[in-house]
């Protein structure tokens, strides 16, 4: 049954926005998210977030974690994930969706869409480094947690690239005490080592049960 569900998700993947890529890499246009970012800023005017909290940002796996603040009630948590974004797009908006909040911790999940658009793991690493440099240039004491790229049913064919990108970023994080690679890959797999389809709402995105597993992995780290 698990194999049948996984196969069905893989077959359905092309119907999603973040589908398998064309032959050549696509250069993302950050302007496509301008309305989303502007909406964040407008919301901040009426309800200013508490500075010094925890900011989650990145692509749709963060954007769809809509109740992330409820998972960590003891902390001021802000979700600033947006759509099917790629790292260059997140980097384009860091000054607007991370820096103003002066967070104690930033949690980033992004890179999967980059690989799906034929970017290399090395390019993903470089964009991660750019993210870190931008934040630490303005907020040198802020800790940055990178949530590992998980392996959804719709991207099983990209396992090698995903593994390499994770390994490269982990190596960088291991060199800097202000960086933390948070590996959540195993939380999304079944006993057979394949993506657990019961933890995916579709071929790409986690279910609430999956997010709770992520939260369990993050909670002790937030206390450090």
132 contacts 155 by C-beta, under 8 angstroms: no
What radius of gyration, in Å, describes the C-alpha atoms of the chain? 17
Cβ-in-10-Å burial (0-12, 13-18, 19+) of 62 comes to: buried
CATH of domain 2-11+50-222: 3.40.50.1110
Domain spans, the chain: 2-11+50-222
Tell me the pLDDT tens digit for each residue of 27-42.
678 789 999 999 999 9
Tell me the pLDDT tens digit for each residue of 200-224.
999 999 999 999 999 999 999 999 8
80 contacts 98 by C-beta, under 8 angstroms: yes
- State how far the Cα of 88 lies from the Cα of 82, in Å rounded to an integer: 13
Mean pLDDT, rounded, for 89-115: 97
Q: Quick one: DSSP state of residue 200?
A: B
Tell me the pLDDT tens digit for each residue of 129-138.
999 999 999 9
What's the pLDDT score for residue 11? 47
Of residues 5 and 84, the one with the higher pLDDT is: 84
Q: What angle do CA 72, 99, 17 make, to 5 degrees?
A: 70
């Amino acid at each position: 049954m698990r194999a049948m569900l996984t196969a069905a998700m893989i077959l359905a993947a092309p119907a999603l926005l973040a589908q398998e890529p064309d032959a050549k890499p696509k250069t993302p246009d950050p302007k496509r998210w301008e309305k989303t970012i502007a909406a964040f800023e407008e919301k901040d005017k009426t309800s200013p977030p508490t500075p010094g909290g925890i900011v989650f940002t990145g692509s749709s796996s963060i954007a769809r974690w809509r109740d992330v603040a409820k998972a960590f009630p003891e902390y001021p948590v802000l979700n600033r994930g947006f759509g099917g974004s790629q790292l260059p797009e997140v980097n384009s908006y860091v000054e607007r969706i991370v820096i103003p909040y002066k967070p104690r911790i930033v949690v980033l999940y992004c890179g999967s869409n980059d690989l799906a658009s034929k970017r290399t793991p090395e390019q993903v690493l470089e964009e991660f480094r750019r993210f870190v440099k931008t934040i630490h240039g303005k907020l040198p004491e802020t800790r940055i947690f990178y949530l590992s790229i998980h392996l959804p049913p719709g991207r099983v064919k990209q396992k090698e690239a995903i593994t390499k990108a994770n390994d490269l970023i982990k190596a960088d994080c291991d060199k800097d005490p202000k960086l933390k690679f948070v590996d959540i890959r195993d939380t999304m797999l079944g006993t057979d080592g394949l993506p657990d389809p019961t933890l995916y709402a579709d071929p790409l995105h986690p279910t609430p049960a999956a997010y709770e597993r992520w939260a369990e992995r993050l909670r002790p780290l937030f206390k450090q």
